[in-house]
A and B are shown apart, each in its own frame.
Chain A
Amino acid sequence: MTILTALEWLAGTRWSIDLHESQYMWPFLESVHVLCLTIFVGTAIMLDLRLLGVAMTRVPASEFTRRLLPWTRGGFAVMVVTGGLLFTATPVTYYQSLFFRIKVIMLIVAGLNVAIFHARTQRRISEWDLDPTPPRAARVAAIVSLIAWSAVVVAGRLVAYNWFACDLQPQSAFVNWAAGCVVPLP
């Protein structure tokens, strides 16, 4: 069984069809997903700005990681739950969406950046906690974070546009490859 056939099965379930066709459930989940960006990305941006040394430089960086990051994590949890549920509404469309694939790749980049920051840079935070401008590694983490999460948001928004949809052939060979379209041979 391939991922595609598994998702085709999922798309045929009562749950998926009901959610896809629901009048209020889908817009409700989508609204929560989008508005939760303010909590998740919003608080992450504040930490990134502090790490860059451009906002609240008199506040210790550890204040942000200790007191604001729990909100970031909580927001992320809601994003994952609502995003996961939304995915089940039209799983095949998302799986074969170029923008969705870009979003997943950028999510992985952003996640690795978080992991590296926590495993290395943040571990020695006491050495630079009060520095108005944190060390280079922290600033790089902040820049990567801002770019990667922005890309996740933009790609996520563009998933709604079907410019590169598999069922709108002809698409370029690159798009068909990158989006995983199953195209009958000419």
Chain B
Amino acid sequence: MLNKNELQLAFRTAFPATVPILAGFLFLGLAYGIYMNVSGFGVWYAVLMSLLIFAGSMEFVAVNLLLAPFNPLGALLIALMVNARHLFYGISMLEKYRGTGLKKIYLIFGLCDESFSINYTARIPPNVDKGWYMFFVTLLNHSYWVLGASLGGLFGSLVQFNMEGLEFVMTALFVVIFIEQWKKETAHHSALLGLGISFLCLFLFGSGQFMIPAMIIILGVLTLMRKPLQKKTGEAVCR
């Protein structure tokens, strides 16, 4: 356990990295809360579901599951498919989450797109505790999401400001993080494969079905390219 000053330092270092998420999650959470509200669910549903599921797109899907006939196995399978990309994040974070103690359970619980992309690419100063930094990034992201969903459930219908297009803040964040990662690596095969295969699958299979085939093809090509890629990237890359 760290002392109070070290905890504060980790928090103060983590917070700026999450500011774009603050904007994005308040907005998306708000939209989700409103959606729940107009679908006939009380604010407690939005609060509890944002707290427990913490996977943005899945929560929108979950609203439809709640409105459809009862099908628990179907709900499980849909959740597995919509969130399958988290498997990639887990494999990527195996090393980074090592040695974070009990915090690791929460870090894994909160491994959403945004926590993954920030924590994976973060350049954490050496005097800041890595585990607590990643913990606060995850906790802040989680709080923004729950806050947005709660506000949306409570006051969503009162919003007058035209926020159409604010959801682009998430795309912008991912593009910036992609560029940062691009600058850090010496070989760009994996980055280009990820973009190219995903786009190809989006055109071939459509927005509802492209994720799983894209993941399988990415995994397959990276596996086939293991020998040449390992030679090219060596040990220094992505560390």
A and B co-occur in one complex: no
Q: Which residues of A contact B (CB under 8 A)?
A: none
Q: Which residues of B contact A (CB under 8 A)?
A: none
